[in-house]
Amino acid sequence: MTDDIFATGDIFANRELVRVGHVPELDRVVGRDNEINEVGRALGPATQGGPPETTIIYGKTGTGKSLVARCVTREAHRRATENDRSLQYAYVDCSDYQTEAKASREMARELVKRLTTDRTIPRVGIGAADYRDITWELLDLHDVDAFVVILDEIDKLADDELLRSLSRARESGKADAFVGVICISNKIEYRERLNERVDSSLQDNELVFDPYDADQLSNILNNRRDAFKQGVLDDAVVTKTAALAAREHGDARKAVDTFYEAGQLAERAGADRVTVNFVDDAVRQAEINRFERLVSGQPPHVKLILRALAALTEQRDASRFRTADIYDVYVNFAESEGADPLSYDRVSRLLKEQSFLGITDTTHTGGGPSKGSYLEHRLMRDTDIILDAMRSD
């Protein structure tokens, strides 16, 4: 046993800065000046006690949508306080609270935390409208001038009732406060599926967040270098991490996560510096973890099928293989494990399912008059990553 089992090494100065989900101060948000200004304009009236504009933000994962919305809303709360106005806000991740009742409950709980009141929000036993009534009551009781609700991944909500209720809260006499909503969605077509009455109640205030480029990602990481102790980061670490994330659709969340994981790996190894080798290891471990989640709980025969495809990939100078070739190797693996092989058709269907999950890629190939058409399959990542993921499972 080491002298101190809680020792954390000499890599991090403030690891919170590189944890996914951390909401930094607004001046640490880079590469999103125009978007910050647009959200600021939407919330500007609320800092003076007026109505915030409802805004819909679109963009792929890791483009800064949630970060900008939360940072600007927090800043608006501070500005309103300076102006002797009360602006309160609630953040609801609809991927965690997918029903109207659960999302309404979380909204009420968030407001209770902001107001630092001891009001208890029941977990069960009341409906969505009751949770919203608690929210309206709290807003009136605490003389709140404006209330902003951030509905992250709003496309995950089962219906539009919460959004409809929020957009009409003051008009319908439910609340004296002005209520605005920031809707965040990865799906550009989200608004098209809204009920016509709900859509007509929203302002035409929409923003699209583009993916970050490599330079912007470098700036994001450099702005969080102080998460690490002075002098422990090799200069190439930021450049490489940013380049890898830019290649993966400009995902800043992935860049920051890789940055953090590289530091953790260096810490666990007892190293005194974070080098690009730790970045490579962090990327590889992230891929193993992702595929481990995908194959976790898969039936044993699916793992044998994937092992068969991995074996073919390693043994032959090719990456795509016909179902028949995979099936032959799979049968050998199954018999060596003492298992009865599945039918050819069943294996074919299971391979298609793996393609749907993103573990493999399946293409339909025309083999010409003599061969006919057939399916070919390939692994979406290196064989060692797939095999390590299955060993870890």
Task: State pLDDT tens for residues 46-96.
Answer: 999 999 999 999 999 999 999 999 999 999 999 999 999 999 999 999 999
pLDDT computed for residue 309 by the predictor: 94
Domains by residue range for the chain, with CATH? 32-209 (3.40.50.300), 215-294 (1.10.8.60), 296-392 (1.10.10.10)
Stronger pLDDT, 92 or 6, i.e. the higher one: 92
Q: Which amino acid is residue 99, in one-letter code?
A: T
| Main-chain phi, psi angles of 353, to 5 degrees | -65, -40
Helix or strand run (H / E) with residue 180: strand 178-185
What's the whole-number mean pLDDT along residues 261-289? Answer: 93
With 90 as the cut, is the pLDDT of residue 8 above it? no
Residue 238 CB-half CA count within 13 A: 19
Contact 276, 234 (CB under 8 A): yes
Contacts of 220 (CB under 8 A, 6+ apart): 30, 31, 212, 242, 252, 255, 256
Alpha helices in 44-160 (DSSP H): 65-82, 100-115, 128-141
Is-contact 107 149, C-beta < 8 A? yes
393 pLDDT more than 90: no
Give the span between the Cα atoms of 288 and 293, in whole angstroms: 9
In the three-class reduction of DSSP (H, G, I as helix; E, B as strand; rest coil), residue 59 is classed as strand
Q: Which residues are annotated as a binding site for ATP?
A: 63-67, 212, 224
* CA 81/CA 87 separation, integer angstroms: 7
- pLDDT at res. 4: 78
Residue 243 structure tokens: 């380049």
CA distance 261 to 297: 26
Contacts of 261 (CB under 8 A, 6+ apart): 282, 285, 286
CA-nearest of 306, 294, 291 to 385 is 291
Binding residues: 63-67, 212, 224
Average pLDDT, the chain: 91
* pLDDT value of residue 79: 98
pLDDT of amino acid 365 = 77
Phi-psi region of 173 (alpha: psi -120 to 50; beta: other; left: phi over 0): left
Could you tell me which residues are beta bridge partners of residue 359? none
Query: What one-character DSSP code corresponds to residue 233?
Result: B
CB 203 within 8 A of CB 191: no
Q: What is d(CA 202, CA 163) in angstroms, rounded to the nearest whole number?
A: 9
